[in-house]
Structure 1
Amino acid sequence: MQRGSVGFRVLAYLSAAVAVVGVVLPLLPTTPFVLLAAYFASKGSPAFARWLEGHPHFGPAIEQWRLRRAIPTRAKILACSMMAVSWILLLLMGFPLMVLMISGLCLLGVATYMVTRPSY
């Protein structure tokens, strides 16, 4: 086994673990971590990649992303909502204007990208 593949394997398992936690915790989006796990697994653990692709809960998200670059509507709504809540918390906690502007622009960019992807 090559050294690089060990790193990808570890990242795949960590991403999958966060995705599993996201299934249980409604505030943590699952889809982005499933996609990360699939990407890292494809580089470091083909067997784990096949398992993820065949999984009844995770497999459809991976397939839709690879075929159409599509994101589930529920994931879009949850992610955009959490980004808005995060930014509002920064505002309420009195973070400096520069932090608010930079974080707001980054979050707006991510939200724009997500919303413009196809849904399923």
Structure 2
Amino acid sequence: MRRTTFKILGTGCVGLGLVGAFLPLLPSTIFFILAAGCFARSSPALEARILNHPVFGPPVIAWREHGAIGKKSKTLAVAGMAFGYGVFLFTSQPALWLGLGVGLFIAGCAAYVLSRPGVPKKPAAETCPNRL
């Protein structure tokens, strides 16, 4: 039952990650990180498919090994948060307390993203195309 639950959750996260790969404001990497975690508990073969994927694998591995987020990803994430907050303010015109609360929450999220280390550069001898 537990393995099945993690496999279903992982599959859902992969689905959201794929949608996020095509929608500009929906992140994809976080869903692939979550999916890999779920598959680690339910299906090592599916986990390996995520880790070996040429596009989605490297950010997941960087997060797992170093808690790292690439510079381009940080820039896109913070810009997306700022854009989303601007859309929120413009379209909903919230009460002052709500606007400040949402702004503080988004600022905290942005601070967390910016506080993560960058992806370390590996020497050519350590680069391995097949992780598993």
Q: TM-score, normalised by structure 2?
A: 0.79
The aligned length equals: 118
1:25, CA displacement in angstroms?
3.0
Structure 1 residues 27 and 91: CA distance shift in structure 2, 3 A: closer
1:72-113 CA-to-partner distances (Å, cap 9, x unmatched) read 222211211121112112222211222212211111111111
- Report the residue type matching 1:117 in the other structure: R
CA contact (8 A) 1:11 1:40 kept: yes
The question of whether the paired residues in 2 share the 8 Å contact of 1:29 and 1:75 is answered with: no
Q: Which has the higher helix share?
A: 1
State which of 4, 16, 19 in structure 1 corresponds to 2:17. Answer: 19
Match for residue 90 of structure 1? 88
Query: 8 Å contact 1:73–1:119 — kept in the other structure?
Result: yes
Residue 50 of structure 2 corresponds to 52
Counterpart CA distance in 1 for 2:53 and 2:88 is 37
Work out the percentage of aligned pairs sharing the same amino acid.
Answer: 34
What do you get for the CA RMSD once the two structures are aligned?
1.6
Q: Which residue of 2 aligns with 1:104?
A: 103
Structure 2: 5+ residue stretches without partners:
120-132
Is contact 1:15–1:33 with CA below 8 Å preserved after alignment? Answer: yes
Structure 2 residue 26 is the aligned partner of structure 1 residue 36:
no
